Amino acid sequence: MINFKQQIAETIYDEALGLSVEEIQGMLEIPADETMGDYAFPCFRLAKVLRMAPQKIAAGIAERIGGCELFAKVEQVNAYVNMFLSRERIAEEVISEIIREGDAYGRTDLGGGKTVIVEYSSPNIAKPFHIGHIRSTVIGNSIYKLYDAVGYHVIRINHLGDYGTQFGKMIVAYRKWGSEAELEKAPIQSLLGYYTKFHTEAEKDPSLDDEAREAFVKLEHGEPEETALWERFRELSLQEFNRVYDMLGISFDSYAGESFYSDKMPAILEEMKEKGLLVKSRGAQIVDLEPYGMTPAMITKSDGSSLYVTRDIAAAMYRKKTYDFYKNIYVVASQQNLHFKQWKKVLELMGYEWQEDCIHVPFGLVSLKDGTMSTRHGRVVFLEDVLNQAIEKTAEIMRDKNTPGVDIDEVAREVGIGAVIFQELSNNRIKDYVFDWDKVLNFDGETGPYVQYTHARACSVLRNAAEEDLAAIRAGNVDYSYLTGESANALIKMLYQVPEVIADAAAKYEPSILTRHLIDVAQKFNKFYHDEHILVDDPAEKRAKLALVLASKTVIANCLGLLGVKAPERM
């Protein structure tokens, strides 16, 4: 597709200005007020070079480029050159490319096939997959899709929390209060009950914590009984997790969790020792990070067991060796900011410059109306329950509206789950928020169901069109002069920006950039739909408008896909 900014920059370029085409392109602005043009070029910077008032410079440039066929109008306003692109030219360039590229529209090869790892979701086994996990899960899944869309080879890793002292606690709790029959009937609920009871009882009897530490040390040393219990908890947990992942349409290339790196840690400890980084502290081994403004990084406890830092260092080294990544992205809550700074600094002290390519993408936390969630106290909202209630609510709405010809069960699943995902990705990821059933299941306003309905509306228009008109559009037989009205032009400009928006969202690890733009696309489409009668009698006008509907439908479906949301054709 034509790069309008580059075309404008090449048109403005004049050796006397002392600016390269690239510099001019970087200076171009999109006015907040559409009446001021599609693009504006500020001339303040040129005043010193040309020793001339910026208003006069702007007037000279406007006069020089005004006759270019790229523009419908060029005008000088104060120190700005305001440029209005030819609406017919924009319509032809944008719509024809979208129809030609189809599902591939918005995709680029910016990444050049370089490998990017995205680690996301990463729940703890033997604990509930609760609403708090949705943030890492859907943000990470969208980041994976965005990086894939801009040309990277992406490896998706679910770094399961399947190691650590908490499993010693779970083993002790199961031995004291658990049964295989309970596990079979309700695995995660039973394990949560045992875990909650452990903490209640440990407050009365602190010796339980000593038992848990001892059980975990045995697990690290591969004792058969502890290992068998741990493997059972892991197997049951994965069955539960995969049911939720299937609902969300999410999969992974690797489930290598913390336990995967247990046999790789001795060599790393030896390397740290050889490089003089380890210091004894109360029986534990640490790396002193106080000179760098951080608390010490504890590498092993006094009983010799490993910690998160050690395992994350081992994981990063394994990934670099195995995948030779360009970027190693971690979608993990902002609570872990210090943790990531610590282990990255340890890698740096070990001499690994590639630690700079390990990128922590933090996000805000989810809390309940009456406080923070806590698995220790059994205060959680199961993610599967949220998704099922969203599906049920959607099905009720659809039955009330009496939608003949629609598979209510299938569409309710797509729309209900889509509503939850879209709501998660609508706001800046770093913001904390309070989980509220009413808000999550409210389908009015700037929501996923609104965008999905817009897609279904476009599909309905296309179903009502004659096949000969659609065939003519695909063959390029379109008169774009019928698409120069305000609402059509506003929509086309939004569609044109999509590849740039996708690249920006990937670069900033921020799916909400795409989500907000997609809402704007849907709003602009609906305005066009209401302003213009599409299936008119005039064949040329009808085909032009149908071409814009087809392009809009394609873009909305593509963007929903990058968010991990389905695009129903009927609602």
Query: What one-character DSSP code corresponds to residue 374?
Result: B
Res 507: pLDDT = 98
Which candidate, 363, 333, 331, 141, places its Cα nearest to that of 252?
141
Q: Are 413 and 440 in contact (CB under 8 A)?
A: no
In a domain, 274, yes or no: no
Q: First vs last Cα of the chain: how many Å apart?
A: 33
Total of domains in the chain:
3
CATH (domain of 464): 1.10.730.10
In a domain, 272, yes or no: no
Both 67 and 126 in a single domain? no
- Cα 477 from Cα 11, distance rounded (Å): 30
In a domain, 101, yes or no: no
Both 77 and 173 in a single domain? no
Both 424 and 361 in a single domain? no
In a domain, 98, yes or no: no
Both 333 and 190 in a single domain? yes
548-570 pLDDT, tens digit each: 999 999 999 999 999 999 999 99
Both 149 and 15 in a single domain? no
Both 213 and 347 in a single domain? yes
386-438 pLDDT, tens digit each: 899 999 999 998 888 877 788 999 999 999 999 999 999 998 999 988 877 77
139-149 pLDDT, tens digit each: 999 999 999 99
- What's CA 566's distance to the chain center, in Å? 15
Q: What is the extent of the structural domain holding 11?
A: 4-85
In a domain, 213, yes or no: yes
Query: Where is the domain boundary, 372, 398, 433?
Result: 372
Both 512 and 557 in a single domain? yes
Both 527 and 400 in a single domain? yes
Q: Tell me what the mean pLDDT of segment 506-512 comes to.
A: 98
Global pTM value: 0.91
The 3-state secondary structure of 47-107 reads HHHHCCCHHHHHHHHHHHHCCCCCEEEEEEECCEEEEEECHHHHHHHHHHHHHHHHHHCCC
Both 41 and 163 in a single domain? no
Q: What is the layout of strands, in order, in the sheet containing 39-42?
A: 39-42, 80-85, 71-77
CATH (domain of 70): 3.30.1360.70
Q: Could you give the residue numbers annotated as active site?
A: 127, 130, 133
Both 399 and 436 in a single domain? yes
Both 401 and 538 in a single domain? yes
- Cα 331 from Cα 333, distance rounded (Å): 7
Which candidate, 223, 122, 215, places its Cα nearest to that of 175?
215
